[in-house]
Amino acid sequence: MGVNSFLKHPGIKPRSHKLFFSDQPNRSRTRSQRARFITKSGSCNVAHKNIREQFVRYGRFLQDVFTTMVDLKWQHSFLIFTSAFLCSWMLFAMIWWLLAFAHGDLVPRDPSSEPGPVPCVTAIHSFTSAFLFSIEVQVTIGFGGRMVTEECPLAITVLIIQNILGLIINAVMLGCVFMKTAQANRRAETLIFSRSAVIAPRNGRPTFMFRVGDLRKSMIISATIQLQVIRRTVTAEGEVIPVSQLDIQVENPLRSNGIFLVSPLIISHTIERGSPLYELSAQSLSSKDLEIIVVLEGVVETTGITMQARTSYTPEEILWGRRFVSILSEEDGRYCVDYSKFGNTVPADEQEKAEAALHVESQQVPARRSSSRQEKDSGQSSRGFCPVGCPSSSSQWTEKGSLSGGP
């Protein structure tokens, strides 16, 4: 099905050839940017308001402290980490100072007099020295100038409690840092989607297409891709549903959403009866209030962590009557991908003409080879022919076993 047949599709009404083959998105792009649920980078574009009452009343975020800390920004996380360590050091410094004060270790003594009672902690003379000892205990530095003696059992108990609490704080902080650096969206940074999607005929039927690629050499295991269209609908009873989600079937002979992302792929969806995009046309596309969300999920080969990459396409980002250019070529026995043309598109009729010319050329090459082969065979036959009456012709053909020499 060519472009002309594509224009005659019952559900497709082109506005003009200028619109159909324009390199730019639809004219509605000049209008104010419409809202979208998923940004091009994959983040959720939803603002939560008036949740302070729920937060104060139920403390829902505090009930899941670890997830809340992982979701915080890095600057907030570092502030919490620093505050947690400083507060714990300061708290136990106060405890060590109170123990020394209660035991009488802070009373000044004359160096020339007899030594006093054994202190609970040696070399603690002020709050500053107690603070330094608190740091040494919690981070297990152990400079050797200060240490707990067996004089005070309470000091030994405080030492055990501070060590346990310090280990807990270290474990939580290290876990938060690891989870923040190994989040699923980090791997998604090297998964790219084409800035625009296209609608063009494929195998005689209009098809919605976009391109996805992986910049890393490590594979995404069990990769699956899902498409959903979000639009505003009205029920038969008149109820307005602002967010109606409908699944879009990815074109796959196995009728599954699994893909093998060894090289950039063009993901397609055939627009046929029953498709959520069946009523789209070149004329009505710009006025439609919809958003096509793409979700790519899989397992990172090197880490085994499940990852997810997202993007979306609005009507302004869907190019009508265009195709993606080929970016895969074979060089020196291996396939090469030219990412500089990753999102490039051409009009559908130009690609069809190029493919037709390539098909004709591919048919002409065997024809020329066959013609030259026939000429070569004809020349060899003319040189090997011996007319009747030639003295040795009869014996030569008989020896070759091709003809009989005579009666």
Q: Are 206 and 338 part of one and the same domain?
A: yes
Q: Are 140 and 242 part of one and the same domain?
A: no
As for how many domains the chain has, the answer is: 3
**Residue 65 belongs to a domain:** yes
**Residue 90 belongs to a domain:** yes
What pLDDT is attached to residue 65?
82
Q: Are 118 and 248 part of one and the same domain?
A: no
For residue 30, give the CATH number of its domain: 2.60.40.1400
CB-based contacts of 168, cutoff 8 Å, min separation 6? none
Q: Are 205 and 300 part of one and the same domain?
A: yes
How many other β-carbons are positioned within 10 Å of the β-carbon of residue 21? 17
**Residue 111 belongs to a domain:** yes
Structural domain ending residue among the three candidates 324, 343, 362:
343
Measured at the alpha carbon of residue 161, what is the angle toward residues 155 and 166, in degrees to the nearest 5? 125
**Residue 45 belongs to a domain:** no
Structural domain ending residue among the three candidates 321, 343, 365:
343
- Domain range for 362 is 352-400
What pLDDT is attached to residue 323?
93
**Residue 7 belongs to a domain:** yes
Q: Are 21 and 138 part of one and the same domain?
A: no
Which pair of structure tokens corresponds to residue 341?
């043309």
Beta bridge partners of 36: none
What pLDDT is attached to residue 283?
87
**Residue 133 belongs to a domain:** yes
What pLDDT is attached to residue 361?
52
What is the distance between the alpha carbons of residues 35 and 47, in angstroms, rounded to a whole number?
12
Q: Which parts of the chain have pLDDT scores under 50?
A: 1, 3-5, 7-31, 365, 380-407
Candidates 354, 353, 328; CA nearest to 341 is 328
Beta bridge partners of 270: 207
Which pair of structure tokens corresponds to residue 367?
């024809």
pLDDT tens digits, residue range 129-161?
A: 999 999 999 998 877 789 999 999 999 999 999
Secondary structure (3-state) at 14: coil
Q: Are 278 and 338 part of one and the same domain?
A: yes
Q: Are 202 and 339 part of one and the same domain?
A: yes
- Bin 150: left if φ > 0, else alpha if -120 < ψ < 50, else beta: alpha
What pLDDT is attached to residue 201?
92
pTM over 0.85: no
**Residue 96 belongs to a domain:** yes
How many whole angstroms from its chain centre is CA 120? 58
What pLDDT is attached to residue 305?
85
**Residue 23 belongs to a domain:** yes
State the virtual CA torsion across 88, 89, 95, 100 in degrees, nearest 10: 170
What pLDDT is attached to residue 53?
66
Q: Are 230 and 275 part of one and the same domain?
A: yes
DSSP 213: E
What is the distance between the alpha carbons of residues 323 and 200, in angstroms, rounded to a whole number?
6
- Measured in residues, the chain has a length of 407
Q: Are 275 and 338 part of one and the same domain?
A: yes
Structural domain ending residue among the three candidates 305, 326, 343:
343
What is the distance between the alpha carbons of residues 76 and 6, in angstroms, rounded to a whole number?
54
Strand spans (E) along 56-173 = none
Q: Are 77 and 210 part of one and the same domain?
A: no
What pLDDT is attached to residue 115?
74
Q: Are 200 and 136 part of one and the same domain?
A: no
What is the distance between the alpha carbons of residues 178 and 185, in angstroms, rounded to a whole number?
14
Q: Are 309 and 361 part of one and the same domain?
A: no
What pLDDT is attached to residue 33?
64
State the virtual CA torsion across 111, 115, 117, 122 in degrees, nearest 10: 60
For residue 119, give the CATH number of its domain: 1.10.287.70
What pLDDT is attached to residue 396?
36
Q: How far is CA 170 from CA 31, 163, 167, in A?
A: 52, 11, 5
